[in-house]
Structure 1
């Protein structure tokens, strides 16, 4: 690998490490929000409102109290632009490209809580869809926090195993996964006649994947025709955007440029492993650094996740594993252990690549580079971006380390670097003093900010 790995751009000062004491205090200050209004909005006298305080939005008092309790001091830039458009009457669709950490979850949750008639707590009025039970549970948690002062707030989790066959969806807000929601509607356990708003999080993944995209389309076909549709994702590739504009017609659009979505607080590194078999030994050498905060190791398959976890445990390293083969309740418990710090190193597949928000994660390791297509023939820039976004949360900084071991993995990572217009810091497997110094510098500066919460709040 040494003969061609040096071709990856080497900056004079490594990306994110040039001046380690200068940590970005609030990442959302680093980008501008581009707004594209739908045709329906073009002729209005005041086509675009922008707010600087939550009070200006006319939110219910209980929702304002919830935002304050969550330490949201003022709207983030995305919220400033998105909330007036999403809350305007008559309701209008929205397509928003906005990474986690910019306030997107709070934006659509605030909209949902403001749209729901809380005098009808047992009538489903809002549906929020996510690609995994973990993300659905996380959204449910955010709704509970922001809506904590609403006396009649009710949330139904429409995820596998949560609602028995003789049960009913009888809360005014429903959070779930597409397949389970579709089944509940078909079995007449879920009355959708009064739904006012549909939110799809991680929409690029939800609309692009064959199975999920099909299920989302079928769910939408069962809903009221005048329902407000809000699509959120960190990335919207062109082909997905075409489908999204058809799925949510006449939608206002909010976008961030791709290079602004690369998470400036993350120092993106790569480890040039001599061979595929050497990756495991290098991973174990990094174990001490993984425990400074919390770490996520992403691998390609469930089988390799299990094998690496078993091998590391046998070698005396405490690690846990989570993937789609686990039962729902077990997945919930494993993620909760990771959130609370009982488990500090988690091996997983792409099931946790999207949206999962664990503030203590200081390191992400791409043991296997994300690939897509038949035979995994092409690099997957969007999944790489989502994976590394699990660190650098809440205005902190973090580290991502991607393993390369052959020409195919090098070419894939180089292509990702070109797509995102980023520089990558090289780590040397034969110089552990330098490697530890580089990684520790970033992680310790991240830990120094552990009590910091940005004005825009989480997610």
Structure 2
């Protein structure tokens, strides 16, 4: 790359959120501990809700589906954000956009932004990133910024802007790690592009017994202009010669760190990029995520050519936008009682709650325990079939359910502004080392609370020495301290925590 120039961009309007800072955790010998629900679920890491399950591979769930479910976002002020930095490649000039009119958008797109999305002006990340995406010669972009800072609007608007509505052929492709995120992004694109006439569809695993779904082998070639989907399905469409890449102008990887990680979807993602390159298409590549670890950063910089960068200074990344607490519980039953008697009782007053667990088995046990105690909860995990996953997410997004138990299938990118509480029933750890935290997953879980500048709180439930060690590593890594709730039995202590978080 020639002439790398680092620019600290001036804010036109503040924007949120948080990410990670590095620190060297001490080497700790794994303690002798007993095992719990989350440990007993699936001994084979391949059976966890990881890459395969995220792309919609389904099996028989622990609970019957009918037991897992029950029957206009307002404008918000963005909180103050740390400085976002841009590093540009070459001499292309970029000017921060103070208003959407500065971006030379069509009247149809402006109408979608103002009427359908109800936006008033670009967020900070949008003001800096959109000129990079939309200014010829359309260079590649690697963008890392906070959860809830407006990244989705950046790449959705980028795709809509690059598509020629008169050409009935695939021109924009967005690849996501989970079915839920792909569907959510498609909903945003259809809403924003309502007046453009641009066609869009999802490419995600579907239930083959659904009569409304035409198998890809029997459908005609895709003429839809924007495709949003998961890597396995998109790769299948390409291999079956149903998805042409000849006219592809823009390729987006949402949650790009996971899409290009060794234990994520790296192979499928590389194959899709290589297929586009072989097609001869002049395609702009956009990589968006709230987290990029050093290993993925090194891989990306070797794989993507001539790119601009946008990132938050590492020393300024934090989780301070959401209040974090730790609750010491003597055993697993006490964790259930804390959720039932303290968190859920108080949580009904402040909005919706997501409870994250480590495994499908843990999700099933916790669901049964809370339902037996009289609570109406829903549960989502990778073993459910696709239609049931869609139904449970829809119910939660529409506010029909207030409490959702989830494996990490919803940790990344799930967008629900009414979620104010997150409970880590199980702390996220590496599959091959249960004393080593999964820092990126922790940050993404925390990012589900307090979206769009709202207040939020996270309760981490700890009940053995391993949990304590993992939590200490998380605190050290992020340079933050989770306040301890003095007594797991005290409703007053939980109420005080929620007041401190600004939720009561």
Query: Structure 2 stretches of 5 or more lacking a match?
Result: 1-75, 207-212
Asked if 1:291 corresponds to 2:343, the answer is: no
**8 Å CA contact 1:126, 1:195 repeated in 2:** yes
1:303 and 2:391 matched: no
Alignment of 1:177-216 (within 5 A): 177-216=230-269
Distance 1:199 1:298, change over 3 A: same
Distance 1:373 1:36, change over 3 A: farther
How do 1:88-167 residues align onto structure 2 when only pairs under 5 Å count?
Answer: 88-120=135-167, 122-150=168-196, 152-161=197-206, 164=215, 165-167=217-219
Task: Output the CA distance in 2 between the equivalents of 1:290 and 1:244.
Answer: 41
Q: Alpha-carbon deviations, 1:19-72, whole Å to 9, x = none?
A: xxxxxx74453221111112xx2xx2x633212111011011111111112121
Distance in 2, Cα, partners of 1:260 & 1:347: 31
Comparing 294-303 with 237-246, which one deviates more in the overlay?
A: 237-246
Q: Which stretch shifts more, 424-433 or 346-355?
A: 424-433
Which of 385, 388, 394 is the aligned partner of 2:443? 385
Aligned residue for 1:271? 327
Match status 1:81 vs 2:141: no
* Match of residue 70 from structure 2: none
Q: What's the secondary structure of 1:288's corresponding residue?
A: helix
Q: CA–CA distance in 1 between the matches of 2:267 and 2:388?
A: 27
Q: Go from structure 1 to structure 2 and tell me whether the alpha carbon gap of 1:315 and 1:280 turns closer, same or farther (over 3 Å shift).
A: same
Give the aligned partner of residue 82 of structure 2: 31
Kindly provide the CA deviation profile for residues 336-381 of structure 1, in whole angstroms up to 9, marking residues without a partner as x.
Answer: 0000111110001000000010111010000000001514341111
On the 8 A contact 1:156/1:170 being kept in 2, the answer is no
Aligned-pair CA distance for 1:443: 5.7
- The offset of 1:249, in angstroms, is 1.7
Matched-pair contact (CA < 8 Å) for 1:258–1:420 = no
1:27/1:264 contact within 8 Å kept: no
Q: Secondary structure at the match of 1:355?
A: coil
1:221 lines up with 2:274 in the alignment: yes
- Correspondent of 2:494 among 426, 429, 435: 435
TM-score, length basis structure 2:
0.79
- Is the Cα contact below 8 Å between 1:294 and 1:360 reproduced in 2? yes
Moved over 6 A (4+): none
Contact 1:36 1:253 in 2 (8 A): yes
For structure 1, the residue ranges without an aligned partner over 5 or more in a row are 1-24, 446-459
Say whether the 8 Å CA contact 1:298–1:365 is kept in structure 2.
yes
Identify which of 267, 280, 289 aligns with 2:336.
Answer: 280
C-alpha contact 2:98 2:122 (8 A) present in aligned 1: yes
Q: Give the whole-Å Cα distance in 2 for the aligned partners of 1:262 and 1:412.
A: 18
Question: Residues 266-295 of structure 1: CA distance to partner in whole angstroms, max 9, x if unpaired?
Answer: 111111112344222222222212323100
**Deviation string, structure 1 residues 125-161 (Cα, Å, up to 9, x no partner):** 00001000100001001101110111x2211100001
What TM-score comes out, normalization by structure 1 length? 0.87
Partner of 1:245: 301
Which stretch has the larger CA shift, 28-37 or 361-370? 28-37
Alpha-carbon spacing, 1:200–1:237, altered in 2? closer, same or farther (3 Å):
same
Q: For residues 87 and 110 of structure 1, do their structure 2 counterparts lie closer, same or farther at Cα, with a shift above 3 Å needed? A: same
Distance 1:163 1:255, change over 3 A: farther
Answer whether contact 1:134 1:356 (CA < 8 A) is retained: yes
Q: How many residues are aligned here?
A: 414
